[in-house]
Amino acid sequence: MPVTDLRPEHAEALLQFFRTLPEEDLTFIEEEVTDPGVVRSWARGEGGGSRWVAVADGSGDPVVTGYVAVRPLPGWSDHVGRLRLVVAPGARGSGLGRDLARHALVQSVSAGLTKLVVEVVAEQGAALALFTRLGFRGEAVLIDHVRDRDGRLRDLMVLAHHVGDTWAGMSAIGLADALGDRAG
């Protein structure tokens, strides 16, 4: 499934993607992703950062099956990017999340970011495993930091990927070039 820059022609498909997510998924997305104005502004390149979508092959209107964004933090942390990833329930376990996260990682390094962080609710074991396999490591656990839609408090884990350390090792064996070729 091709991963591509989010563009205006994807706005309605992305909005539909977010609207069909299960309620428990929406609990852990801080942005108002079901607001047409928010999604359309992202598709126009507003809101800062970089955003990509996985679009299903086929004829007709595009169908978004995954979304990933990296937004640089402001000020003295502008070398750090905050990663957000969402995959359609029907596409989970297919490797799409890994492909989206990898794409975002490669593009972020190319853009000059030296650290990526992702926040994952502690009960999201599959997401924790995905990011750990990509070289992210735990940096913090924030106890009772997130309130779900039922009012329950959940722990939030902050994982970080220090790209300089990881990419230096990959470059030594030529893997960074291979990933760069596939990411383009």
Over residues 127-154, the pLDDT tens digits come to: 899 999 999 999 999 999 988 878 889 9
The pLDDT, as a whole number, for residue 165 is 64
Residue ranges and CATH numbers for the domains of the chain are: 3-183 (3.40.630.30)
pLDDT in tens, the chain (184 residues): 689 999 999 999 999 999 999 887 877 677 888 888 888 889 898 888 899 999 987 667 789 999 999 999 999 999 999 999 999 998 998 999 999 999 999 899 888 899 999 999 888 888 899 999 999 999 999 999 988 878 889 999 999 999 876 655 555 445 555 555 544 4
- List the beta bridge partners of residue 118: 83, 159
Q: pLDDT at position 16, please?
A: 93
pLDDT at 34: 84
pLDDT in tens, 52-62: 999 987 667 78
For the whole model, what pTM was predicted?
0.83
Q: Are 130 and 101 in contact (CB under 8 A)?
A: yes
Give the burial class of 100: count Cβ atoms within 10 A of its Cβ; 0-12 exposed, 13-18 middle, 19 or more buried.
Answer: buried
pLDDT of residue 166: 60
